[in-house]
Structure formats: structure tokens, C-alpha cells
Amino acid sequence: MKVLLLRADDLRHRSLASILHASGFLAAEIIETKYSPYNINQSELIGQHFEARQQSELDFFGCNSIYKSNFPSLNIKNGKLNSTSVIKFIRRQKFDISITFGVSILNGELIQELRNNVLGIHLGLSPYYRGSATNFFPFVNSELGAVGYTFMHLNSGLDKGPIIHQGRAPIILGDSIHTIGNRNISKMFEDILRLIENHVDLKVSSNNNYSNGRLYSRKDFTEENLKKALKNLASGLIPKYLANIKNSQEKFPIIQYKFQRVI
């Protein structure tokens, strides 16, 4: 199964490309240069938060971020994903499925050009948390059962596609926001490979009620919310979650793809 990957250019995104390449699945990629979605200079605390995130990503994904690009690739600037040059590039490629990870919203024309065969990666559990920083705000709201990832059949809605598969990574004592987030991404990488190995059928999906979830935007990531998340952690958020993990996760049920083959 050959993959056309549409991705951003952070370490986590390059790591997925490297893993798909090493597994023989990557046919081509479109790389969107993304600017920081948050104003890291708005406060010293927020700046420290993103410095720590960058170091944690390096610890988790640094070894996987380098690969030999011997396949077609296209680099584009932020906001140019739906441009004519991208469509022309896609038309020249041979692929079975396309995967999006960290890029701008695809418009209907681009989705159609991708044969409506697009698997979107959402770092968060839809429909409970949609939009921006969706694995951060569960720390603000003391809802660690809502930390996870979602694979969805992409449409033009914001994180509203029919869900294919969801998962959660283990949370352990001593974790930080960043170690939990990156362990979640690492487990997500494993499930991406499992889906491809199982020749995922995007028609096997579930529609969800998106009216009951929380929707966050970039402006919601404030120093006040970061302080609240850190205070919750300092007050024992993780031990409380682990002591009541079953009930915490049952509040946010997830959809699991029925894997037939194991890598």
C-alpha cells in the first residue's frame, strides 16, 4: 500500500515520514512549512513550555527524523496547501491512500483530487476535543481520559470526519505534558503502520455527534490556561487519574478498528 503523505515540518512530522519510508510505504510527500501557531514570546512561561516541548520531541523522535529522500517531494509555504501547484504534483503521483498530519485544512477540491481517500491524523480524541492543542486542554480540565489520537476519513469540516480508529498511550507517574503527548504520538505511529498493513478501508467508519465536544482555537492557549494545567499536575492529576483510570476513560469511549493482520 503506497502512501502520499501531506505533513508539516516539525520533528514529529518528519519522524512519521521516516517511519513510513523505512517500512516501504511512502510513495511521495508534500511538506508544508508551518509557522508557530502560538506566540511563544507572549510570556516567559509559555516560551519555556515550548522549549521543553522541543527538547522532548528531540528525545522521542530525534533518531527517526533523518531519512534519504529518494521519492518525489514538494515543499510549500504555509497557507499554500490548496494551490494549483499542489494539485499538479498530486496528479503525477501513484498512491493508494493519502495521510495528512499537521497541515492546513484541505478544501473540497483538494480532497476530491486525493480521490476522497484521505486519512486524517488528529492528535486528540474527537468529538470530545477538536481544534487546536487538543491534547493540552484535557490537562486544563482535569480530563486525562480524553488524551489520545484519532484517525478519521477526512472531509471539509474541522476534525469532523467519520472516525476510523482511536487510541490512547499509557500515562505513568512522573510524566509531564510533553512526555504524555509524545508517548501518545509514538503509539499513534504504531497504529498507522497497523492500519496500512491491514489495507485500511476508509468506508469502515463511524459518524459521531460533534455538538457535544469542546472546540479550541490558538487564542485559547494562554498563560492562564498553562498555569492551570501545571497546577493540576502539581496537585496530583496523574495519580488521581491512575487510581480511577477505568471510570476516567469510560467518560470518553473510543472507536477501535478491527485489525486482521499484525505487523
- The pLDDT confidence band at residue 192, using thresholds 50, 70 and 90, is very high
For the chain, what is the mean pLDDT?
A: 89
pTM for this entry: 0.91
- What pLDDT is stored for residue 238 in this prediction? 98
Who has greater pLDDT, 111 or 63?
Answer: 111
Who has greater pLDDT, 256 or 67?
Answer: 256
Candidates 160, 164, 161; CA nearest to 204 is 164
Cα-based distances in Å from 16 to 3, 50, 152 = 12, 21, 17
The CATH architecture one would assign to domain 3-250 is: 3-Layer(aba) Sandwich (3.40)
- What pLDDT is stored for residue 64 in this prediction? 72
Residues 223-252 as b or e (16 or more Cβ within 10 Å = b): eebbebbbebbeeebbeebeeeeeebbeeb
- What pLDDT is stored for residue 196 in this prediction? 93
Looking at residues 229-247, what average pLDDT do you find?
Answer: 98
Looking at residues 67-78, what average pLDDT do you find?
Answer: 86
The whole-angstrom separation of Cα 131 and Cα 129 is 7
End-to-end CA distance of the chain: 14
pLDDT tops 60 at residue 90: yes
- What pLDDT is stored for residue 221 in this prediction? 93
Helix/strand/coil for 215: strand
pLDDT tops 70 at residue 158: no
User: Can you give the residue ranges of every domain in the chain?
Assistant: 3-250
Top mean pLDDT of 31-40, 120-129, 252-261 is at 120-129
- The pLDDT confidence band at residue 203, using thresholds 50, 70 and 90, is confident
- What pLDDT is stored for residue 71 in this prediction? 86
pLDDT tops 80 at residue 24: yes
Residue-wise pLDDT tens digits, 32-45 = 997 655 555 678 99
- What pLDDT is stored for residue 79 in this prediction? 87
Specify the range with the lowest mean pLDDT, choosing from 33-37, 155-159, 160-164.
155-159
Q: What percent of the chain has pLDDT over 90?
A: 67
- The pLDDT confidence band at residue 155, using thresholds 50, 70 and 90, is low
The whole-angstrom separation of Cα 176 and Cα 80 is 34
Residue found by looking up cell 521543553 in the block: 52
- The pLDDT confidence band at residue 194, using thresholds 50, 70 and 90, is very high
Cβ proximity of 254 and 168 under 8 Å: yes
Decide: residue 108, CB within 10 A, 0-12 exposed, 13-18 middle, 19+ buried: exposed
